[in-house]
Amino acid sequence: MTVARAFIKLGLKRVELEEFLEKELGQAGYGGADIRRIPTGTRVALYAERPGMVIGRKGKSIKHLTDELAQKYGLENPQVEVVEVTKPELCAPIMAKRIAFALERGIRARRVGHSTLRRIMNAGARGAEIIISGRIAGERTRSERFYQGYLSKAGEPAEKLVSHGYAAAKLRPGIAGVKVNVMPPDVPLPDEIKLLVKEETKPAEAQAEGKKGEQTKEEPKPEEGVGK
């Protein structure tokens, strides 16, 4: 097998795994997964709004999920960890699914886009972008874009610092795609420089002399006859 075919096969396997996790953990507010190889096996970090639903009663759900990852998708000794999403407004996959769900309920795309963008920015995001495309109003396909704040669009910051989310809404005219990008607050951008200013300090000898003078200094004694 050539290197190109190996990478294609690995990419398809990752897509199948992502679809499986979205299907299994959709009710728990699935917000993505971080899969990494470690010396003892494979670390799988699952981000969800409701971790209790992922774990299940007495850990049955997470045990079943671990067995599926090992047997069906070939992950070596998977160690599943559930991470709670404290601010879902800053998680692009969760917001994309919420937008798709709202579209399926019949809410207009402009209303959903503006309200969701406002919620994301109010949560403290540095920037956000929402793109809704497809047959969102009638038979003709069109695209609506909602944008606010600062958002990295290229390079390593766009890949590692920006949260990306995708979802599909099944509408009567057809399928509508939802794409959400969120730049979280306080992310370390490479073009931002912070200067550390040190306070001026006196030399050690001057400080020692000052302390010595304070110790030897005595209060003046009152003169005789004063105050009588």
* Domains defined for the chain, CATH in brackets: 3-84 (3.30.300.20), 88-183 (3.30.1140.32)
Q: Please report the pLDDT score of residue 228 as a whole number.
A: 42
Confidence of residue 122 (pLDDT cuts 50, 70, 90): very high
Q: Tell whether the model's pLDDT for residue 131 goes beyond 90.
A: yes
* C-alpha separations of 207 from 90, 127, 217 in Å: 51, 50, 15
Q: Is the pLDDT of residue 85 over 50?
A: yes
pLDDT at 53: 87
Give the mean pLDDT of the chain: 83
- Tell me the mean pLDDT in the region 191-208: 66
This prediction has a pTM of 0.73
Q: How far apart are CA 110 and CA 112, in angstroms?
A: 6
**Which strand (E) or helix (H) includes residue 178?**
strand 175-183
pLDDT reported for residue 135: 83
And the tokens for 117? 């963008």
